[in-house]
Structure 1
Amino acid sequence: MGFNRDLQPTAAIRGHLQFTHSGLVTATYFITALGYGLRNAADKFDVKLAHHALINNLPNGSLLLGIQARQNTLDVLSKMVEGVDLDECVDYADEVFASYERVRAISPQTRIYLISIPVGTASTSGISALSRMWRGSTTTIDATAVSRAELDSYEEEANEILSRIGGDFEPVPVPAAMFQWLWEHYLARGAVGDPVAPTRAGALDDATAAVFKSAALDEGARADSQRRVRPSFVPVIKVVQPDTGYRPSYQAMLTPRSFPYSGMAFPGGSEFLNVIDGLGGAVTVDWGMRISTKPADQVLKSNEVNLRRLGEQMDQRDQEVSFAQNTLMSKAQMLGEYNQHFEVNGGESEVSFTTVIAVGGPSHDETMDAVNTLRRRYKRFQVEMVTPVGAQVDLWSLLVPGSPPRRAFDDFAHIVPSDMWAGFVPFTTSQIGDDSGPVIGLNLLSGHFEPIHFGIMEAALHDLSASFAVTGELGSGKSYFLKLMAVLVHDMGGQFLAIDRSQVGEWEHFASAIDDAVVIDLANPSVSLDPLRLFDPRVAGERALDSVLPLLDLSPTSGTGAVISNLLSPKGIAEHHITSLLDLYRVVCRLRDEPGALDEYSDLASRLGTIVERVPVLFDPSLAPIRLDAAATVVRSHKLALPTAEELTTPHLYNRLPLTKRLGTALYELVGVTAREAFLSDNGRFGLLVGDEAHHFTQTQVGASVTSDFSRDGRKHLAAIGLASHDPATDFQGAAHNLIPNRFVFRQRDETLARNSLEWLGVDLEEAPYLLQALREETSPPVGAGRQVPEERRGEMFMRDALSRIGRGKVLGPARTDRAEAITSTPSVAPRTARREPEVIR
């Protein structure tokens, strides 16, 4: 049981170039996996085409890797604080500090994708000198014996290969220390000492070379047995690092023995590497694939030779009565179909590939349990996985870049056309969310529990909209999520305005935990929403018309509508000295009383007279105009009568709306317009408008304009809108459907609403009908006699991010205890005496 130097082939490293003892020179790159997840079939075929271009242009002997590793907790926290001044945002600093223990307890993981391609061979004299120097020391040295011209030639060869592959996978050269990290990960796979993933940019740039630790690979784990057992009988490797003091790693290598005879349908049936994710426990599962290709013309020539041999065998047995004749006939038919595939598809190639799935854990039992679980999973896909006894170390070495070919590589190789291989789509990811920003939840689709970052305040820097929309049934978590986003915006130095329609005042109660919070009650106000007093005189008349015309049931082209339009034009406002809606009413009454006045003035005065006394928030000159300069503003509209979505969208019902509902709609819209004017201005502060009644922002002309402006221009002015609804098919139309990129779907048990929600999300239910059941029955499901959702299942949802990637996650909520209590509790169950009361303006 000794350390075999042949398992580590590296003689020297220069950046991402690796020089091996055999003389081979390889170039290794990080690969950006392509978004996959729950995207529709058309998008998945695009991913397959990218893999087809990849495999057809990779040189023989290339190595593809998918490495699972723990995420560094500090890397996660550093992504949370990108672009945030923690000295100014003390509340957010407390949130990030509180997130440390939570992230560490979750122990999120990720998968790093690499590709290692041969780019040439080193000169004999140079590499032999390097080999001699290496054999005299266990430390890898710089490739100083290689000339600058040779290094340039290797770089040119690598760049030529990458150019043929294309830029879909965005290859990035690895630093020299990546080879050391990879080796240490292999030695400690799944056990104590397994290094965290270098996911943060520059995490390994401080090293200029690799130093490889020694270890003993005990095939069969003979040291654990009281009696000596032949290693060929035990398909496990015990990896011991005597110099580190870490406990050993127990590893097993799986490889496919056979794939389904009838083929693997794409998409949905060919992505066999996705099966390894989500095992849970302490095990780590990596995969590696070595490939070589043969062009179509060589395949056709080889097929002719093989067909001729089959013909000779059939002639020799034509008089024989046995099953062999039928077997030969079947082989000839299969060879004919295989040959026709290459004749029809001129751009095809033949791929020979050997796949190894490496499972590592802290104990023999845990590793073998994971191996058996994988076998059962693969059996459902008709893929037979084996752990070849006696070949474990050879297969273990397949994942080491630069390893020379071994017999086991050929013994377990498979041959398929490149089109079929591309259906494996090994370089894919289920990642959702942004690259940085606060952590709002965990990714459930990938099985690695990666944090979901939502950089709502950083989206503008990436030319993306930060607006979001939420749907789900009552009690599914919509309001919780809206409050989570509002408090995060506040803590990061932004401001928000939320319209509170709840009778218990849940947003008012939530505001009690927010510094500098203002609560406004529209039913008994001491602030004014008079647009003529709120807005700049250049646009005040237009804003007033948008609110007053529907309120008075007037068309802008009618006689009375034309009269008020003229009065509220810049010329009319200046001529009649109109500075408020009350001034407008007085001017109309004066013009009505003049001799020979038009009947339209009398009509307009009558219409205005019906609301002057009823709506002090618009007509009381003693009220100060509302100012949205507070960090948090909650507008209570629970006493306003508002129309339903059906009343807004059905013409005859809208025409019969009572005055109280018209008043409510006008005030609701004015709040949105006021937020638009305040937040869509370059004041240097991020502004979020939150509306839990989406149809009031999407189904009226003014509301749709507000939604559109926030969605289109919010990224230019550091602003966003957050909307929630029960039925996206009705409420999320127009701008809310086309322009809001970030979408969240919580539990929806009604079949029609669930179907509407998933289609709004972008899911094709004809391709993935199982997702309908997943949303209705497997998303935060209520259980037990009380039909309560278990704590660990709360907040589950489907998500579509700004890049149109669709996945499944779980909302976490604030890490700070006080923030979590403020979001979760309601006034009816949590006393407010212990918290600072917000300023209430009534």
Structure 2
Amino acid sequence: MTVLGRDIQPTAAIRGNLQFTQSGLVTATYFIDPAGYGLRTPSDKYDVKLAHHGLITNLPSGSLLLGIQARLETLDVLRKMVEGVDLDRSEDYADEVVASYERIQAIMPQTRIHLLSFPVGSIGTGLSTLTGLWRSTQAVDVSAISKEDLDSYDEKATSILSKIGSDFAPTPVPAALFQWLWEHYLNRGALGDPAAPTRVGVLEDATAAVFGSAALDEGAQADSRYRVRPSFIPVIKVVQPEAPDRPSYQSMLTPRSFPYAGMTFPGGSEFLDIINGMAGVSIDWGMRVSMKPAEEVLRNNELGLRRLGEQMEQRDTEVSFAQNTLMSKAQMLSEYNHHFEVSGGESEVSFTTVIAVGGPTREATLDAVNLLKRRYKRFQLEMTAPVGAQVDLWSMLIPGSPARRAFEDFAHIVPSDMWSGFVPFTSSEIGDDSGPVIGVNLLSGQFQPIHFGIMEAALHDLSASFAVTGELGSGKSFFLKLMAVLVHDMGGQFLAIDRSQVGEWAHFASAIDHAVVIDLTAPTVSLDPLRLFDSRVAGERALDSLLPMLDLSPTASAGAVVSNMLTEKGRAEHGIHSMLDLVHATHRLRDDPGSGPEYADLAARLGAVADRLPVLFDPMLKPLQLNAAATVVRSHGLALPTAEELTTPHLYNRLPLTKRLGTALYELVGVAAREAFLTDNGRFGLLVGDEAHHFTQTQVGAAVTSDFSRDGRKHLAAIGLASHDPATDFQGAAHNLIPNRFVFRQRDETLARNSLEWLGIDVDEAPYLVQILRESTSPPTGAGRTVPEERRGEMFMRDALNRIGRGKVLGPARPDRAAAINSTPTAAGRSVVVERQG
């Protein structure tokens, strides 16, 4: 059977998002923002279910819900990458965006567009003239529809949307969306399938829709010239006159039955998620719904029970299975009736679901259909592709399509509470709306680019700070360097603390022009807080470093003395302009007749550290100036305490002097970055620390972390931290205030559980995710136990909106940047050419 597409297209006229059909029905169609779902907690998922319950109980009968799969337009992705970036001043980033074009083309990312269409009235017979015009391909005169009528339809739509609420942020579609939808249906999965429309740009420039013609050949009869018998293949061959050699083969699936015992929520009822992640085809879903209020359902149930009772009385003397069947039906109907009696706000939903599979060949489409059937079979859902009803079911996905027999034949009836567990309007998207592409989404199955707008977050009143965890070799350092180079290329600056013995960050900095490398054990610059910071805060900054370094209390004996000396008044009185001046002043006071033992104690403590720390006490070194685009501070020569030593009081009290000195210098670097970056200088600043516990477990470090997390969005700054164990290191500000979190491979079970809980996942509810993180996230394979190139960078992510998903970090698209990040220097034979301060 071959049907002409124009005989199925119901549209007679369009005015904005209002559609006027040949039958006189008027519908309103909206874009829907799906609710974030992914790997969120069960309580969050129940909130999504409640939002869907509010949706379904307030929709009018005949409403159509759609989820349309389409490829992303590469240029749209690139436009999002450059939002808010001055490319004239960021040539390096412009090169990165250009290099991203081919990579995005190769990935072929997809997306799913969610739409809602519902009736808002009718215009009776007044549309017959317009219908005739449309059938003769003449322009439709929408002026024949009065302004009063248009206003009444808008008012009706507004009233319905008000009852639904704002959970899904409905946005009126432009008129051209109807044309785009028709073109997609005709080319579903084939070469001519159009890219996804954007809500801005070309679609909004159009004011009407023009529908192309096509032939819908059910059973693909034309493929066999000499076929005698009719085809029983559940497939439609869609052929367009202008492209007869590029047909689309499509098959319509619909549920035959759902599990008898019901579908558990969450985790078992979201049956539309199963269609994601299938390559080579395009898969859409549509759901047509009708509602009955509880009062009508109760009346019908009472009538049904009475009829069953009469049948049972008529067969009470009969010995057969029929009696048992009737009793079973009566029990089920009684339970169904009880559900409506005890559940307030319930309604009955009759819904027909169509899953439309389209591909470039019949084999590709039917293979996908069979794969989907097998997938659904595991969830006890039986799917069917009914022969003879393919075209009718195909038409159901068209907004405004009149009711057909197939819609009723394959309908199912459930209470609205159970229907809301299907949560059709959900998404597994993660990341930001714009910004650099840092990877692709693995959870959605669509491979959408993950944008991380680290420099744009402040404009949306969000923190750009991020934290990373994972085992050695899992990709933490790679990701930190990726973010640093992106910040640099977009016109910002970064300071990274390099703890590696081989100087991997210093090696990385060699690829950046005018990078500055500082070695704290062989300093060329000074971190003297009295020279580094403004006079108003210099004394406090010096005290923050000195007191823990000298193991002093700020209010007792020597601690009180140095606290007084470092006030503005004390510094002026004793002529203290540097840390070395402090040492000299202490010696003078110690030698004064009548001085107390506290001065001798302070002088002894300062004398023990002054010669060991030229970076603090050598006045010939110039103070550090954080004005370079890239600064790397090498701290590999410092002895630093472990996380356990910092968090255990008796171990901290016994810290050797070398570790106290190392901690003080490490913190000073963070404080210097805070003073430089948390100022309104118009330039974004990123502080990168690979030893998170030194920024989160000490008083000074915690303050630095908190300030970057709280105030970074106000001053265009962020902090990026990495750790092996988030349960130990990411506490306080790092846990509460850093929104963007990334978890790479963790093969240790305890660390894997800690990492997922840090993301916000209830591992007791989802223990399989622990196994995925340990065994299926960038897994080392083969004899060398190396990670294959295509599996590197896999991770879990939580974004600024608390959405949790899985992704894969891609790294820079520019070959030179990728080489700089990927290369690992060796302890010998390495040559790094950088500009040094001093």
TM-score (norm 2): 0.99
1:799 to 754, 775, 797: 797
Match of 1:423, as an amino acid? G
1:837 to 809, 833, 837: 833
1:568 and 1:300 mapped to 2: Cα distance?
Answer: 82
Match of 2:394, as an amino acid? W
1:309 and 1:830 mapped to 2: Cα distance?
Answer: 90
Deviation per CA, 1:590-632: give whole Å up to 9, x if none: 1111111121111101110111111111011101000000000
> Residue 406 of structure 1 aligns with which residue?
404
1:207 and 1:576 mapped to 2: Cα distance?
Answer: 77
User: What secondary structure, in the 3-state scheme, does the structure 2 residue paired with 1:466 have?
Assistant: coil
> Residue 81 of structure 2 aligns with which residue?
80
2:182 and 2:226 mapped to 1: Cα distance?
Answer: 31
User: What secondary structure, in the 3-state scheme, does the structure 2 residue paired with 1:114 have?
Assistant: strand
1:230, CA displacement in angstroms? 5.1
Tell me how large the CA RMSD over aligned residues is.
1.2
> Residue 255 of structure 2 aligns with which residue?
256
Match of 1:738, as an amino acid? N
1:827, CA displacement in angstroms? 1.9
Deviation per CA, 1:418-446: give whole Å up to 9, x if none: 00000000000000000000000000000
User: What secondary structure, in the 3-state scheme, does the structure 2 residue paired with 1:208 have?
Assistant: coil
1:771 and 1:460, CA in 2 relative to 1: closer, same or farther beyond 3 A?
Answer: same
> Residue 5 of structure 1 aligns with which residue?
6
2:185 aligned with 1:190:
no
2:171 aligned with 1:172:
yes
1:746 and 1:203 mapped to 2: Cα distance?
Answer: 40
2:429 to 425, 431, 436: 431
> Residue 270 of structure 2 aligns with which residue?
271
Kept after mapping to 1: 8 A contact 2:220/2:231: no
1:133, CA displacement in angstroms? 1.3
User: What secondary structure, in the 3-state scheme, does the structure 1 residue paired with 2:67 have?
Assistant: strand
1:721 to 719, 722, 745: 719
1:642, CA displacement in angstroms? 0.6
> Residue 525 of structure 2 aligns with which residue?
527
Kept after mapping to 1: 8 A contact 2:502/2:827: no
User: What secondary structure, in the 3-state scheme, does the structure 2 residue paired with 1:233 have?
Assistant: coil
1:361 and 1:374, CA in 2 relative to 1: closer, same or farther beyond 3 A?
Answer: same
1:229, CA displacement in angstroms? 5.5
2:678 aligned with 1:697:
no
2:580 aligned with 1:582:
yes
User: What secondary structure, in the 3-state scheme, does the structure 1 residue paired with 2:128 have?
Assistant: helix
1:122, CA displacement in angstroms? 1.2
TM-score (norm 1): 0.98
1:397 to 370, 395, 398: 395
Kept after mapping to 2: 8 A contact 1:521/1:841: no
1:812 and 1:771 mapped to 2: Cα distance?
Answer: 22
1:140 and 1:450, CA in 2 relative to 1: closer, same or farther beyond 3 A?
Answer: farther
1:712 and 1:142, CA in 2 relative to 1: closer, same or farther beyond 3 A?
Answer: farther
1:229 and 1:664 mapped to 2: Cα distance?
Answer: 87
- Mapping for residues 310-321 of structure 1, pairs under 5 Å: 310-321=308-319
> Residue 98 of structure 1 aligns with which residue?
99
1:140 and 1:655, CA in 2 relative to 1: closer, same or farther beyond 3 A?
Answer: farther
1:831 and 1:167 mapped to 2: Cα distance?
Answer: 62
1:140, CA displacement in angstroms? 5.3
Kept after mapping to 1: 8 A contact 2:509/2:632: yes
1:233, CA displacement in angstroms? 1.3
1:246 and 1:743, CA in 2 relative to 1: closer, same or farther beyond 3 A?
Answer: farther
- Mapping for residues 667-682 of structure 1, pairs under 5 Å: 667-682=665-680
2:798 and 2:828 mapped to 1: Cα distance?
Answer: 34
1:490 and 1:259 mapped to 2: Cα distance?
Answer: 54
> Residue 154 of structure 2 aligns with which residue?
155
1:115 and 1:229, CA in 2 relative to 1: closer, same or farther beyond 3 A?
Answer: farther
> Residue 132 of structure 1 aligns with which residue?
132
Kept after mapping to 2: 8 A contact 1:231/1:389: no
1:318 and 1:272, CA in 2 relative to 1: closer, same or farther beyond 3 A?
Answer: same
Kept after mapping to 1: 8 A contact 2:53/2:416: yes
User: What secondary structure, in the 3-state scheme, does the structure 2 residue paired with 1:57 have?
Assistant: coil
Match of 2:189, as an amino acid? G
1:202 and 1:802 mapped to 2: Cα distance?
Answer: 27
1:231, CA displacement in angstroms? 4.9
Deviation per CA, 1:445-482: give whole Å up to 9, x if none: 00000000000000000000000000000000000000
> Residue 487 of structure 2 aligns with which residue?
489
1:840, CA displacement in angstroms? 3.1
2:55 aligned with 1:54:
yes
- Identity, in percent, stands at 78
2:828 and 2:8 mapped to 1: Cα distance?
Answer: 63
2:115 aligned with 1:119:
no
1:289, CA displacement in angstroms? 0.4
> Residue 615 of structure 1 aligns with which residue?
613
1:577, CA displacement in angstroms? 2.1
User: What secondary structure, in the 3-state scheme, does the structure 1 residue paired with 2:537 have?
Assistant: helix
Kept after mapping to 2: 8 A contact 1:220/1:229: no
- Mapping for residues 219-238 of structure 1, pairs under 5 Å: 219-228=218-227, 231=230, 233-238=232-237
User: What secondary structure, in the 3-state scheme, does the structure 2 residue paired with 1:331 have?
Assistant: helix
Match of 1:62, as an amino acid? S
Deviation per CA, 1:309-367: give whole Å up to 9, x if none: 00100010001110000000000000000000000012000000000000000000000
1:232, CA displacement in angstroms? 5.9
Kept after mapping to 2: 8 A contact 1:232/1:389: no
1:124, CA displacement in angstroms? 1.7
1:787 and 1:45 mapped to 2: Cα distance?
Answer: 41
1:279, CA displacement in angstroms? 1.1
1:244, CA displacement in angstroms? 3.4
Kept after mapping to 1: 8 A contact 2:693/2:723: yes
1:536 and 1:680 mapped to 2: Cα distance?
Answer: 14
Match of 1:134, as an amino acid? W
1:393 and 1:829 mapped to 2: Cα distance?
Answer: 69
- Mapping for residues 179-578 of structure 1, pairs under 5 Å: 179-199=178-198, 201-228=200-227, 231=230, 233-245=232-244, 247-280=246-279, 282-578=280-576
Gaps of 5+ in 1: none
2:746 and 2:697 mapped to 1: Cα distance?
Answer: 22
Kept after mapping to 2: 8 A contact 1:496/1:633: yes
1:755 and 1:74 mapped to 2: Cα distance?
Answer: 40
1:727, CA displacement in angstroms? 0.5
1:537 and 1:4 mapped to 2: Cα distance?
Answer: 79
Gaps of 5+ in 2: none
2:28 aligned with 1:27:
yes
Kept after mapping to 2: 8 A contact 1:231/1:390: no
Kept after mapping to 2: 8 A contact 1:581/1:618: yes
> Residue 598 of structure 1 aligns with which residue?
596
1:128, CA displacement in angstroms? 1.1
Match of 1:225, as an amino acid? S
1:175 and 1:182 mapped to 2: Cα distance?
Answer: 12
> Residue 688 of structure 1 aligns with which residue?
686
1:228, CA displacement in angstroms? 2.7
Kept after mapping to 2: 8 A contact 1:358/1:396: yes
2:568 and 2:261 mapped to 1: Cα distance?
Answer: 76
1:333 and 1:494 mapped to 2: Cα distance?
Answer: 69
2:778 and 2:228 mapped to 1: Cα distance?
Answer: 49
2:27 aligned with 1:37:
no
1:553 and 1:517 mapped to 2: Cα distance?
Answer: 36
User: What secondary structure, in the 3-state scheme, does the structure 2 residue paired with 1:402 have?
Assistant: coil
Kept after mapping to 2: 8 A contact 1:10/1:402: yes
2:54 and 2:634 mapped to 1: Cα distance?
Answer: 57
1:534 and 1:212 mapped to 2: Cα distance?
Answer: 69
> Residue 660 of structure 2 aligns with which residue?
662
Match of 2:686, as an amino acid? L
2:830 and 2:781 mapped to 1: Cα distance?
Answer: 31
1:227, CA displacement in angstroms? 2.9
